Chains A and B, each alone.
Chain A
Amino acid sequence: MSRVLVPVVFSSLLISGLAFAGSDAIKQRQELMEETRDAAKVIGGMLRQKQPFDAAAAMAGLQVWKKTAMEAGDLFPEGSESGHDTEAKAEIWTDREGFNQKLTDFGTAVDAAIAANPDSLEALGAAAQPVFKTCKGCHEGYRVEKEE
């Protein structure tokens, strides 16, 4: 390969690699949010008494939230600001510190809920409500409202 072609090929590989990483991250975080919401639906459904209390299912839901708290921060890399109907706001990248703090607040509340190991509907309410309160922490300033 010529001296000109090599850098061109490499840089285009690099760019497409970045773009791929970006779109990959968007899909991964969208899936993670879906899982998070499904877990919220299970726990919230119990709290609203739409389904019976089930300690194991509740704990499984809390563990999903734990996974979200651990993984979400890494799923907003540079290069994943747009595309794939992302609802991520530019502020995630311009105010990463603020975003990380909100994510940490969520993680702290989840850890406390897991530590409480709720074995009744009342205990689940006391453990999960503080977590529910942190969801809007990120969604207030770092998510574009697109959905109906």
Chain B
Amino acid sequence: MKRLAFVLGLLVLAAGSVLFVTRPVGLPEDSSPAHQVDLANGERIFYAGGCTSCHASVDSEPDSLELGGGLEMETPFGVFRVPNISPHAEAGIGQWTMLDFVNAMLLGTSPDGRHYYPAFPYASYSRMSFGDLIDLKFYLDTLPQSDNQPAGHSLKFPFNIRAGLGVWKLFNLKPEYVVTVPEGDLLLQRGRYLVEGPGHCGECHTARDWTGGMDLDRWLAGGPNPEGEGKVPNISPHIDGLKTWEAGDIEYYLESGFTPDYDSVGGSMVKVQENMARLPAEDRAAIAAYLKSIPALGSSGSD
């Protein structure tokens, strides 16, 4: 009996330590650097991130900038309901401080100190720069308000326990870059930042491992469609991916929605492509250069 109590006590202590170590954290109050706000850059980052693809009000017109949320994402874990991130004070994020916003984007921590689910792709956003986040928040504040209040997520056990997400973060929240690029190559550095950070391309184009995080050894080599039937293509420079595409073909695809064979963009990539088309041409060129430079990986996972 004593031994059982001892073992149970140890387990409770171990669980408590894990929860403590993996508790939601935020940055210190004085983290925000001096920064000259640039709204045009905020808009650029907004399109690089494709915020509207998920957060646009479900009943809004195409191209609407009202981010009232409400989209339901059916996943193996249950149904995620996309929140309102319009500047509405109660229903949206209008009352968030800059630090609240930065903590959400970089650390996946909510203003009331809870873990966000990684359906919100902060594992990618964690690579974003403080300055871009400040500009983005100021830009979001200029968009229309929505009083829509989507219901919460409906997730299956054990995924409905938010505290468990701390363990997920331990494995998967890695703000360092995935691919090494030459120090002085500004084009590749820009491309890497856009793809690995705000663009969050890896969230769909990289297969996930047993922890439910992106398998960085399969970086951008494609995978099953997280939203249902079909596949997400390999976009590494392997023969299974974009090997036969020139950098100019990738730029043209992101601008126009057509592959070199004149197949058209489809599925959820349509909204991504339309956002990418709004970026300056130099950003599409940077993305193309980066995608041509990363390790070539086959889709089957054999190499």
Which of B15-23, B69-77, B176-184, B223-231 is near enough to bind chain A? B223-231
Known interface pairs A40-B262, A145-B267, A145-B269; A135-B240 also in contact (CB < 8 Å): no
Tell me the minimal C-beta distance from A140 to chain B in angstroms: 4
| Known interface pairs A37-B262, A139-B270, A147-B233; 19 further A-B residue pairs with C-beta atoms within 8 A, sorted by A's residue number | A37-B263, A40-B262, A41-B262, A135-B264, A136-B257, A136-B273, A139-B265, A140-B270, A143-B267, A145-B231, A145-B233, A145-B266, A145-B267, A145-B269, A147-B263, A148-B222, A148-B233, A148-B234, A148-B299
Please report the C-alpha to C-alpha distance between residue A34 and residue B258 in the assembled complex, in whole angstroms. Answer: 14
Is there a chain B Cβ closer than 8 Å to A146's Cβ?
yes
| Cβ contacts under 8 Å, B271 to chain A | 140
Write the A114-147 contact mask toward B (1 if CB under 8 angstroms, else 0).
Answer: 0000000000000000001001100110011111
Please report the C-alpha to C-alpha distance between residue A37 and residue B270 in the assembled complex, in whole angstroms. Answer: 18
Is there a chain B Cβ closer than 8 Å to A48's Cβ?
yes
Is there a chain A Cβ closer than 8 Å to B261's Cβ?
yes
> Are the CB atoms of A139 and B267 closer together than 8 Å?
yes
- A-B pairs with beta carbons under 8 A, tally: 57
Residue among A37, A132, A145, A146 with the most chain B CB within 10 A? A145
CB nearest to A37 among chain B residues: B262
A40, A44, A132, A143: the one contacting B266 at CB < 8 Å is A143
Write the A45-72 contact mask toward B (1 if CB under 8 angstroms, else 0).
Answer: 0001000000000000000000000000
CB nearest to B257 among chain A residues: A136
Write the B168-190 contact mask toward A (1 if CB under 8 angstroms, else 0).
Answer: 00000000000000000000000
Known interface pairs A40-B258, A148-B241; A136-B264 also in contact (CB < 8 Å): yes
Residue among B234, B241, B262 with the most chain A CB within 10 A? B262
Write the B91-123 contact mask toward A (1 if CB under 8 angstroms, else 0).
Answer: 000000000000000000000000000000000
Please report the C-alpha to C-alpha distance between residue A140 and residue B230 in the assembled complex, in whole angstroms. Answer: 13
Tell me the minimal C-beta distance from B83 to chain A in angstroms: 24
| Cβ contacts under 8 Å, A38 to chain B | 262
Interface of B is mostly: loop
- Lowest 10 CB-CB distances: which A-B pairs, in order? A139-B266, A135-B264, A40-B262, A140-B270, A145-B267, A144-B230, A41-B262, A145-B230, A136-B270, A143-B266
Is there a chain A Cβ closer than 8 Å to B211's Cβ?
no
> Are the CB atoms of A148 and B240 closer together than 8 Å?
yes
| Cβ contacts under 8 Å, A144 to chain B | 229-230, 267
Please report the C-alpha to C-alpha distance between residue A135 and residue B264 in the assembled complex, in whole angstroms. Answer: 6
CB nearest to B299 among chain A residues: A148
Tell me the minimal C-beta distance from A90 to chain B in angstroms: 9
> Are the CB atoms of B267 and A44 closer together than 8 Å?
no
Tell me the minimal C-beta distance from B226 to chain A in angstroms: 12
Is there a chain A Cβ closer than 8 Å to B252's Cβ?
yes
Tell me the minimal C-beta distance from A14 to chain B in angstroms: 30
Which chain A residues (81-122) contact chain B, with CB distance < 8 Å? none
Is there a chain A Cβ closer than 8 Å to B256's Cβ?
yes
Residue among A38, A136, A139, A144 with the most chain B CB within 10 A? A136
| Cβ contacts under 8 Å, B234 to chain A | 148
